C-alpha cells in the first residue's frame, strides 16, 4: 500500500510477547525492578520455544491504577511535541529502565504506559506509551487520546479526566517486519483510531490496557476480535496487568492476540503470565532462510482476509456523511 505517511515495511512474520505483569504496587522502584525482570524473562522466551521480536508491557505498569495516583507517579519523559525524541536528558526513571532493558535484550519494547508530566506545563499529565527499538532508542510515543471516564451505577465509576489530559495524535511506528499502530485501553472503544492506523498501512495494532471486572468479561474480547481486528483486517492485541484483588483496581487480565479473521491466537488467564504468538506464519523453509540474513514469512491470513473479504477497498467514503456534527 502506498500512502502519504510513507510506505510501510514489507510485512514479515515475527513473534510477539505480552507480559501480563503482576505485583504492581505502591513502591515504584519495586514495580520497575519487577517489570525489568519480566522483560528479561520474556526476551529469553521463558515458558515458550520462541524468542520474541517485540515485547509488550501493560497500561500503567509503574504505578497503581487510579486518578489520584497519576500526579504522584508522573515523570517527565523530556519530550516536546514537534521535536525529535531524545531521552539522553530525560529524568524519567521508567524511561531509563525501559530503554536500557530494550538495549540489553536487543528487542523492540512497547513499554506499556506510565503517567507522564508535560515537559513545559506541569499541570498536564498524560497516560503515555513509549516504544524503544533494540538499540534502546525511544522511537514512538502515544498519549491516550480518549480518557476513561465511565459511571455504571453500582458497578464501576472511574474518571481519568480528574487528573489526566487526553493526547491529540494518532501514532504508529515502523520496524523492519511490520508497521505497528498504538492506542491505550479505552481508545479501543473509538473505531476511528484503529481505522486511521489501518488505513495508514499498519499491519498490527497493539494497545496496552487494563479493563475491569465489569466491562472486561463483556467487552475485552468482543472489542478486539469482533470489532477492531475484523473491521480493519489487522492483527490486534491488548496487554493487561495481572488481576490483583488486594489492589484498588481489579484488572480483568486475559491479555490477548487476535488475527485479522478474528481468531484468538493466544490468551492469558488472570495471573502473572507471559504469552507468545507468531504474527504471520513461519514456514519450515523460511525458518531455514531465517538462519541466513533474510527470511520470508507468510502473512497469509492477513492477505487472505483482505482478498477474500475486500472491505478495505469496498468502503464507500462517498456515501458516509461526516458524523462529527
Ligand X SMILES: O=C(O)CCC(=O)C(=O)O
Of positions 211, 235, 276, 295, contacts ligand X by CB under 6 A: 211
Q: Please report whether residue 212 would count as binding ligand X according to CB under 6 A.
A: yes
List active site positions: 59, 144, 185
* Residue number with CB closer to ligand X (108 or 252): 252
Q: Please report whether residue 185 would count as binding ligand X according to CB under 6 A.
A: yes
* Residue number with CB closer to ligand X (99 or 212): 212
* Residue number with CB closer to ligand X (189 or 200): 189
Of positions 73, 132, 177, 186, contacts ligand X by CB under 6 A: 186
- Segment interacting with ligand X, rule: CB under 6 A, options 82-90, 212-220, 291-299, 309-317: 212-220
* Residue number with CB closer to ligand X (190 or 307): 190
Of positions 41, 103, 189, 306, contacts ligand X by CB under 6 A: 189
Of positions 38, 206, 210, 268, contacts ligand X by CB under 6 A: 210
Q: Please report whether residue 126 would count as binding ligand X according to CB under 6 A.
A: no
Of positions 20, 133, 215, 233, contacts ligand X by CB under 6 A: 215
Q: Find the shortest distance in angstroms from Cβ 211 to ligand X.
A: 5
Q: Find the shortest distance in angstroms from Cβ 150 to ligand X.
A: 7
- Segment interacting with ligand X, rule: CB under 6 A, options 73-81, 168-176, 182-190, 253-261: 182-190
- Segment interacting with ligand X, rule: CB under 6 A, options 181-189, 194-202, 233-241, 290-298: 181-189
Residue 14 CA to residue 134 CA, distance in Å, equals 14
* Residue number with CB closer to ligand X (219 or 289): 219
Contacts of ligand X in 58-87 (CB under 6 A): 59
Q: Find the shortest distance in angstroms from Cβ 24 to ligand X.
A: 13
**Residue 145 neighbours by CB under 8 Å, 6+ apart:** 166, 167, 168, 169, 170, 183, 187, 190, 193
* Residue number with CB closer to ligand X (178 or 210): 210
CA 96, 244, 190, 2 torsion-angle sign: positive
Q: Where do contacts with ligand X occur on this chain (CB under 6 A)?
A: 59, 148, 185-186, 189, 210-212, 215, 219
Amino acid at each position: 500500500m502506498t500512502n502519504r505517511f510513507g510506505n510501510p515495511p514489507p510485512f514479515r512474520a515475527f513473534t510477539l510477547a505480552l507480559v501480563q505483569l503482576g505485583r504492581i504496587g505502591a513502591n515504584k522502584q519495586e514495580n520497575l525492578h519487577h517489570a525489568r525482570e519480566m522483560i528479561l524473562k520474556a526476551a529469553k522466551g521463558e515458558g515458550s520455544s520462541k524468542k520474541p521480536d517485540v515485547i509488550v508491557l501493560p497500561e500503567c505498569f509503574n504505578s497503581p491504577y487510579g486518578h489520584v495516583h497519576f500526579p504522584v507517579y508522573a515523570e517527565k519523559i523530556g519530550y516536546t511535541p514537534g521535536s525529535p525524541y531524545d531521552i539522553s536528558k530525560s529524568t524519567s526513571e521508567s524511561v531509563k529502565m525501559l530503554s536500557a532493558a530494550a538495549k540489553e535484550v536487543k528487542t523492540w519494547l512497547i513499554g506499556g504506559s506510565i503517567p507522564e508530566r508535560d515537559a513545559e506545563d506541569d499541570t498536564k499529565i498524560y497516560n503515555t506509551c513509549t516504544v524503544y527499538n533494540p538499540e534502546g532508542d525511544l522511537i514512538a510515543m502515544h498519549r491516550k487520546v480518549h480518557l476513561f471516564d465511565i459511571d455504571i451505577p453500582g458497578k464501576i465509576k472511574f474518571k481519568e479526566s480528574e487528573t489526566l489530559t487526553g493526547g491529540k495524535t494518532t501514532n504508529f511506528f515502523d520496524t523492519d517486519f511490520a508497521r505497528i499502530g498504538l492506542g491505550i485501553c479505552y481508545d479501543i472503544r473509538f473505531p476511528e483510531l484503529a481505522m486511521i492506523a489501518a488505513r495508514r498501512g499498519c499491519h498490527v495494532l497493539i494497545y496496552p490496557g487494563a479493563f475491569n471486572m465489569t466491562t472486561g468479561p463483556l467487552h475485552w474480547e468482543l472489542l478486539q476480535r469482533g470489532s477492531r481486528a475484523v473491521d480493519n483486517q489487522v492483527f490486534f492485541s491488548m496487554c493487561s496487568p495481572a488481576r490483583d484483588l488486594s489492589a484498588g483496581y481489579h484488572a480483568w487480565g486475559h491479555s490477548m492476540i487476535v488475527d485479522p479473521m478474528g481468531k484468538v491466537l493466544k490468551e492469558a488467564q488472570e495471573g502473572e503470565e507471559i504469552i507468545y504468538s507468531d504474527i504471520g506464519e513461519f514456514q519450515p523453509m523460511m525458518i531455514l532462510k531465517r538462519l541466513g540474513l533474510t527470511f520470508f514469512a507468510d502473512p497469509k491470513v492477513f492477505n487472505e482476509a483482505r482478498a477474500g473479504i475486500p472491505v478495505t477497498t469496498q468502503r464507500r467514503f462517498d456515501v458516509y456523511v461526516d458524523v462529527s456534527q
